[in-house]
């Protein structure tokens, strides 16, 4: 391919993260983030990594994801990296829900877009933003291949015993109710990188991956294939998250509706946006929660303890699912940065062969590293995730194959 650049868009419910990469050498040319989309106080942070590389920041209302992407395009253009560049080979989109249909990265056409739209009810915070990103990018560069890389794809290898809920089969099948799992691009990248860190082939390694960002999920990966994961039909199930409850008795919902008088939409908002850490203590940022814990704040302490208790339960559960565990890998904003979370999650699990070395755990860095003591039977690792690089690589590989096919068809 003559053009070697890929723009990666990761649209969240109120944010847009992006990276422009040159796949000839996997170099980042620009990275950035638009936060608080839809509010008065939106903020765009853009860092060109060519030339002087100085970060630029712009604040002020950015109404929606379309406006956000247009603002990003303007920033890129100001650095001579505009979307009109002939060097751009493709745009790679993170798409959160791909259902069961999409097990691989996919070139987006109208039918693919319609399927992503059909899945909006099961990823209401994420898929709408992904769709706006795709539509806007298509309008800006209709000639370019747009590729969807699905959060759900890595989890499609889960056995039925892990993927099915114990509800009436006909009802479940009619409404396609099952565990899909999310953050798959990260779970795939991190499990593979953990195997590399251990000096082994992915096929030979069993790993528990703990992706702890604002959204959080755990997965059990056996020999490079996902065998279970904590998120379910939607990204609401499982671990305690920044604003999401994770697991609860489904009857809580009936109770809140019947006795509490809340509507289904109110309960949806409650569990997705006003629960988890923010619901428990008013903050969803682990840095702030740790600061409060260190000052003796009881509410923050309880929120932290609930977060850790849930995490520990999943470590135990996935240990049992895998039977043999070679490593546990912490990743994403909390997993990569919050040493107290890592220490507390593993505390007391020495009988399972798990331990964290205090000094190694305190080291900060961008490289994958082990934080378990030499004697530990199960290695504990911190593995910075790189969803954007993974999306760019998959996008670039697919576009290469796509072009090759078109060339062959033309001949
Ligand atoms: N230095 C840090 N210490 C503790 N937690 C941190 C630190 N930096 C980031 N975080 C946590 O990481 C979260 C964001 O993680 P990230 O993976 O970027 O989430 P998302 O992709 O879901 O937006 C923040 O909300 C915060 O809780
Ligand atoms: C699927 C999901 O929860 O994604 P995020 O962590 O980006 O919100
Ligand atoms: Mg994330």
Domain residue limits, the chain: 5-150, 199-387
Res. 16 pLDDT band, cuts 50 70 90 = very high
Ligand at minimal distance from the CA of 290 is: 1
Summarize pLDDT for 84-143 with one digit per residue, the tens. Answer: 999 999 999 999 999 999 999 999 999 999 999 999 998 988 999 999 999 999 999 999
Averaging pLDDT over each range in 81-85, 215-219, 399-403, which range is the top one?
Answer: 215-219
Average pLDDT over residues 323-343: 97
CA 121 to chain centre: 19
Ligand 2 centre distance from Cα of residue 217 (Å): 9
- Is the shortest distance between the CB of 214 and ligand 2 below 6 Å? yes
ipTM attached to this prediction? 0.98
pLDDT at 82 over 70: yes
**Binding-site annotation: residue ranges for ATP:** 17, 211-215, 285-287, 333-337
Q: Ligand 2 atom 5: the closest Cα is on which residue?
A: 215
Summarize pLDDT for 30-71 with one digit per residue, the tens. Answer: 999 999 898 899 999 999 998 777 899 999 999 999 999 999
Pocket of ligand 1 (CB under 6 A): 12, 213-215, 242, 284-287, 332-334, 337-338
Fold of 199-387: Nucleotidyltransferase; domain 5 (3.30.420)
Best substitution site from 182, 217, 245 to test ligand 2's pocket, by max atoms within 8 Å of Cβ?
182
pLDDT of residue 14: 83
Ligand at minimal distance from the CA of 96 is: 2
pLDDT of residue 22: 96
Task: Identify which of 20, 31, 12 has the alpha carbon closest to the alpha carbon of residue 94.
Answer: 12
pLDDT of residue 411: 58
Residue that wins the pLDDT comparison between 407 and 170:
170
Taking a 5 Å cut-off on Cβ, the residues next to ion ligand 3 are 213
Average pLDDT over residues 198-207: 98
- Is the shortest distance between the CB of 246 and ligand 2 below 6 Å? no
- Residues 314, 345, 375, CA angle at the centre, nearest 5°? 105
Ligand 2 centre distance from Cα of residue 124 (Å): 11
pLDDT of residue 410: 76
pLDDT of residue 1: 59
Ligand 3 centre distance from Cα of residue 244 (Å): 14
Q: Ligand 2 atom 2: the closest Cα is on which residue?
A: 215
pLDDT at 348 over 90: yes
**Quick one: CA torsion of 248, 254, 258, 261, rounded to 10 degrees?**
50
Asked whether this chain's domains 5-150 and 199-387 adopt the same fold, the reply is: yes
Q: Ligand 1 atom 23: the closest Cα is on which residue?
A: 214
Res. 180 pLDDT band, cuts 50 70 90 = very high
pLDDT of residue 375: 92
Active centre residues (catalytic): 151
Res. 222 pLDDT band, cuts 50 70 90 = very high
Q: Ligand 2 atom 8: the closest Cα is on which residue?
A: 215
Summarize pLDDT for 255-286 with one digit per residue, the tens. Answer: 999 999 999 999 999 999 999 999 999 999 99
The phi, psi pair for 294, rounded to 5°, reads -65, -25
Q: Which CATH class is domain 5-150?
A: alpha beta
- Is the shortest distance between the CB of 182 and ligand 2 below 6 Å? yes
pLDDT of residue 183: 97
pLDDT of residue 402: 72
């Amino acid at each position: 391919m003559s053009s070697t650049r890929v723009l990666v868009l990761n649209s969240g419910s109120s944010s847009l993260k992006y990276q422009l990469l040159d796949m000839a050498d996997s170099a980042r040319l620009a990275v950035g983030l638009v936060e608080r989309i839809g509010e008065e106080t939106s903020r765009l942070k853009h860092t060109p990594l060519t030339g002087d590389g100085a970060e630029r920041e712009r604040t002020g209302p950015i109404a929606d994801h379309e406006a956000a992407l247009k603002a990003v395009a303007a920033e890129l253009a100001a650095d001579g990296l505009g979307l009109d560049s002939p060097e751009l080979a493709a745009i790679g989109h993170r798409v959160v829900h791909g259902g069961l249909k999409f097990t691989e990265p996919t070139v987006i056409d109208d039918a693919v877009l319609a399927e992503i739209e059909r899945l909006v009810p099961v990823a209401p915070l994420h898929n709408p933003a992904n769709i706006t990103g795709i539509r806007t990018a298509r309008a800006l560069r209709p000639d370019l291949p747009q590729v969807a890389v699905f959060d759900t794809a890595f989890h499609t290898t889960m056995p039925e015993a892990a993927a099915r809920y114990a509800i009436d089969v006909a009802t479940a099948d009619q409404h396609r109710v099952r565990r899909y799992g999310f953050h798959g691009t990260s779970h795939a990248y991190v499990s593979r990188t953990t195997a590399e860190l251990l000096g082994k082939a992915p096929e030979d390694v069993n790993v528990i991956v703990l992706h702890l960002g604002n959204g959080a999920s755990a997965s059990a990966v056996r020999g490079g294939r996902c065998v279970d994961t904590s998120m379910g039909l939607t990204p609401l199930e499982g671990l305690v998250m920044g604003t999401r409850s994770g697991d609860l008795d489904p009857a809580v919902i009936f109770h809140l509706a019947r006795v509490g008088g809340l509507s289904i939409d109110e309960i949806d908002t409650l569990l997705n946006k006003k629960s988890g850490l923010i619901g428990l203590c008013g903050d969803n940022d682990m840095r702030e929660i740790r600061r409060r814990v260190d000052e003796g704040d009881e509410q923050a302490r309880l929120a932290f303890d609930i977060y850790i208790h849930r995490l520990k339960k999943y470590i135990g559960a996935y240990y049992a699912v895998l039977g043999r565990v070679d490593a546990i890998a912490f990743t994403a904003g909390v997993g990569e940065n919050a040493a107290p979370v890592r220490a507390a999650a593993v505390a007391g699990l020495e009988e399972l062969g798990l331990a964290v070395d205090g000094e190694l755990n305190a080291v900060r860095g961008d490289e994958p590293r082990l934080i378990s003591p030499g004697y530990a039977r199960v290695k504990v690792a911190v593995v910075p995730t790189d969803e954007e690089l993974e999306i760019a690589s998959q996008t670039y590989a697919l576009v290469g194959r796509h072009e090759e096919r078109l060339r062959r068809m033309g001949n």
